[in-house]
Chain A
Amino acid sequence: MIDQRVIDRLKKKDEQAFEYVYQETKRGVYSMIFSVIKNHQVTEDIMQDVYMKMMTTISQYKKQTNFKNWIITIAKNQAIDYYRREKRIVHVDQTDYDNFLSSPEPTPDERNQFDLMIEMLSEDQRSVVILKIADEMKFKDIAKVLEKPIGTVIWLYQEAIKTLKRYEG
C-alpha cells in the first residue's frame, strides 16, 4: 500500500521509496503499456519513461487520490503517445522473448497461445483483461484509469473472456 508517507519520501527523491513504489506498481504499469503496444521490448522501454515521468511530475499528484491509479494513467498516456508517434501497431516478434529470462518461464506453446489470444481482443478488451488478470486490479480502478463507466468495463471483461473461451489452442 502506497501511503502519503511513501509519497513524501518520493518527493524528496528517496531511492528506497522509489524501489518500493516500483515493486508495488510495476505489474499495473507493465500491463497497461503492453495492452496498448503489444510488444514486450518496447513496453520495458516505455516503463522507464513512465517512472521518470512519475518522478518529474510527483508534485502534481493530488493527496487523497489513488497513487497506483495515477501512475497507471501516466503509463496509459505514455503508451498512447508512443503509439501515435509510431503510427503503426508494433507486432510481436518471437525473438523478443529470448531477451527476457525470468522465472517462471512460459513454455513455447503458452507464448504462442498468448500472442494469438491477445490478437483476438480489441484494445479496450485487452486493457481490461490484462489489468484485471495480471495485476488483479479492481473493476472500479480500471474504470477510473481507462476513463470508462464501470458497467462498460465489466461488460468488456465478460465479452473478452467469452471470446477467449472460444479459442481452441
Chain B
Amino acid sequence: MKTKDIKKIIKLNIESHLPKDAPQIDFLFERTETSIPNKVFHFNFKYAMSAVFAIFVVILGFALWPNNDIIPNPPAKLLNSNNEIVSFSAISSVSLLSTIGTNELISLQTDLVVIEKPDVITKVLPYLKSIEQLLLSDSGLNIVSGDSELPEYDYFMQFQTKNLAGISTWYVMHYNLDLQDEDDEESEYTITGILTLGSKTYHVTGEKKIEDDEEKVRFKAFYNDSNYVESLYKFENDKQVFEFKVIQNNLLASESKYEIKFEDEEVKVELSFKEGNNEGEYEFEYYTEDDIDLIKIEFETKLNSVNSSGEMIVQMIVDEITGNTRYLIYVDPDDGDGYEYETDEEDEEDEEDEEDEEDEENEEDEEDEEDEEDEEGEEDEE
C-alpha cells in the first residue's frame, strides 16, 4: 500500500468520527483542582554539619596533596597520527568535491545533490557525511597501510569509516611519498596519488610542513586542474582545525572550517562556512537515544540575507530490502514551526551502478517514488 493511501485512510477515519460540537460543560461548577505545593525544605542541623565536614575534608585534601604544581594534561586530540589526519582530509575533500555543480561534474554528484530543499538543510548536507564519519571516529579511524600493488605507486593506505547506521565505507589511497628535501627544511613530506571510493577515483596531493613552529598538512582532491577541493589541517587554540576551499572553474566557490573539540571521549564539531553572501555556523554532536544513533546540530545561519537559528536532529534510515540509506532530518527553528525532511536514498556500495540502472529502477519503483514525492510535498507544505 502507498504511503499516501495509508495517510488518507487514517485521516478520513479519525475525521469522520470527530464530534463536531464541544461537550456540554456546566460552567457554573465551583470545584477546581489546584496544584500540590512543593515540599518545603526544613533546616536539619545534622545534615548541615555533615556538609560542612565534607567540605573541610575536601579542602584539607587539596592542601596536603604532595604535587602542588598542577601540570595540565596535553589537550586530547581526536586524530592523533599523520595517517589519520591525511585520511580525514581525504574523506572530507572527496565529500566536498561532489558539491561542485558544473555541468561536466554532474555525473560525479551522488548522494549530495540537493534540489528544492530548505536552505538551512541545503547548506549543511555537503558537510554532513564527513562530519558524521568524524563524530563516529571517537576511537580513531581504522587504517591499514602497506606497499601498493599498482606499479605507479609505492604505498597504499586503506581507511574505514562508519555511518550512523553502522555501515562501513572503505577508502583506498595509492601514493608516492617524498620525504624531506635537504633544500626545503620546512617540508616534512609530500604525497601524490589516487584515492578510490567504490568505483570512483580522484587524484590527490598532500604535503606536511612546519610553518612558524606550527604543523600544517595540506591536501587536495581533484576532479580536474580547475575543479578541486583544498584542505589545510592545523592545531590551534588546543583544537584540531580543518579549513576547506572548494575551487570551481578556478574560482573560489566556498570556504569552510571544521573545529574539533574532543573532551572526555566526546566529540563535537563546529562547522563555519562562507559562500558568497551566505554564511553559517553549525555545531554537531553525536548521541544515542534508546539505542538509536542520532546527530544533534545547533545552527545559526545568514542565508539570502535572512538570519535563522535553531536545532536539527539527524537520523539515518536504512531500507531493509535494498540496504540503501537516507537521512531523516528534523528541523526545529527558534522562530518558527518545526518540519521534517528526508534526503534521497543513496547506495553506498556502488554509486555508479545505481546511475547505470537508473532507468530500470525508475520503471520498477515508480509507485514508491510517487509516494516519496507526495511525502516531500506534504512536508514542504508543513
Residues of chain A having any CB pair with chain B under 8 Å = 13, 15, 18-19, 22-23, 26-27, 30-31, 34, 40, 43-44, 47-48, 51-52, 55-60, 97, 100, 102-106, 110-111, 113-114, 117, 129-130, 133-134, 136, 138-140, 148-152, 154-155, 158, 161-162, 164-169
Measured between beta carbons, the chain B residues less than 8 angstroms from A30 are 14, 17-19
Interface pairs A-B: 10 shortest CB-CB? A149-B289, A22-B22, A134-B14, A151-B289, A48-B23, A151-B292, A114-B13, A13-B27, A60-B35, A40-B17
Q: Is B338 an interface residue (CB 8 A)?
A: yes
Chain B residue with Cβ nearest A58: B32
Q: Is B300 an interface residue (CB 8 A)?
A: no
Measured between beta carbons, the chain A residues less than 8 angstroms from B137 are none
User: Do the beta carbons of A114 and B17 come within 8 Å of each other?
Assistant: no
Give the distance to chain A from B344, nearest Cβ to Cβ, in Å: 16
User: Do the beta carbons of B13 and A150 come within 8 Å of each other?
Assistant: no
User: Do the beta carbons of B17 and A43 come within 8 Å of each other?
Assistant: yes
Measured between beta carbons, the chain B residues less than 8 angstroms from A151 are 289-290, 292, 294, 313, 315
User: Do the beta carbons of B14 and A154 come within 8 Å of each other?
Assistant: no
User: Do the beta carbons of B12 and A106 come within 8 Å of each other?
Assistant: yes
Measured between beta carbons, the chain A residues less than 8 angstroms from B313 are 150-151, 154
Beyond contacts A149-B292, A150-B330: 13 other A-B pairs, Cβ-Cβ < 8 A, are A26-B19, A52-B25, A59-B32, A60-B34, A110-B9, A130-B14, A134-B14, A139-B330, A151-B292, A151-B315, A152-B290, A155-B292, A165-B1
Measured between beta carbons, the chain B residues less than 8 angstroms from A152 are 289-290, 292
User: Do the beta carbons of B315 and A161 come within 8 Å of each other?
Assistant: no
- Count CB-based A-B contacts (< 8 Å): 140
A108 to B112, CA, bound (A): 45
Contact of A165 among B6, B13, B18, B34 (CB under 8 A): B6
User: Do the beta carbons of A134 and B382 come within 8 Å of each other?
Assistant: no
User: Do the beta carbons of B11 and A100 come within 8 Å of each other?
Assistant: no
A100-B16, A138-B337, A152-B290 are known contacts. Are A60 and B22 too (CB-CB below 8 A)? no
Q: Is B145 an interface residue (CB 8 A)?
A: no
User: Do the beta carbons of A106 and B9 come within 8 Å of each other?
Assistant: yes
Q: Is B33 an interface residue (CB 8 A)?
A: yes
Measured between beta carbons, the chain B residues less than 8 angstroms from A130 are 10, 14
A98 to B15, CA, bound (A): 15
User: Do the beta carbons of A139 and B10 come within 8 Å of each other?
Assistant: no
A136 to B337, CA, bound (A): 12
User: Do the beta carbons of B10 and A117 come within 8 Å of each other?
Assistant: yes
Measured between beta carbons, the chain A residues less than 8 angstroms from B16 are 100, 102-106
User: Do the beta carbons of A164 and B315 come within 8 Å of each other?
Assistant: no
Interface of A is mostly: helix
Measured between beta carbons, the chain A residues less than 8 angstroms from B27 are 13, 15, 18, 55
A34 to B2, CA, bound (A): 23
Q: Is B317 an interface residue (CB 8 A)?
A: yes
Produce 1/0 per residue, B322-351, CB < 8 A to A. Answer: 000000101010000111100000000000
Q: Is B20 an interface residue (CB 8 A)?
A: yes
Give the distance to chain B from A73, nearest Cβ to Cβ, in Å: 15
Q: Is B42 an interface residue (CB 8 A)?
A: no
User: Do the beta carbons of B317 and A158 come within 8 Å of each other?
Assistant: yes
A26 to B19, CA, bound (A): 8
| 19 CB < 8 A contacts A-B | A13-B27, A22-B22, A40-B17, A52-B25, A57-B33, A59-B34, A59-B35, A60-B33, A102-B16, A106-B16, A129-B10, A133-B11, A134-B10, A138-B338, A149-B289, A154-B328, A158-B328, A161-B3, A166-B1
Contact of B1 among A51, A103, A168 (CB under 8 A): A168
User: Do the beta carbons of B328 and A169 come within 8 Å of each other?
Assistant: no
User: Do the beta carbons of A154 and B25 come within 8 Å of each other?
Assistant: no
Chain A residue with Cβ nearest B332: A140
A49 to B13, CA, bound (A): 22
Contact of B23 among A51, A59, A149, A168 (CB under 8 A): A51
User: Do the beta carbons of A149 and B290 come within 8 Å of each other?
Assistant: yes
Give the distance to chain A from B376, nearest Cβ to Cβ, in Å: 14
Of B17, B25, B32, B290, most buried by chain A (CB within 10 Å of CB) is B17
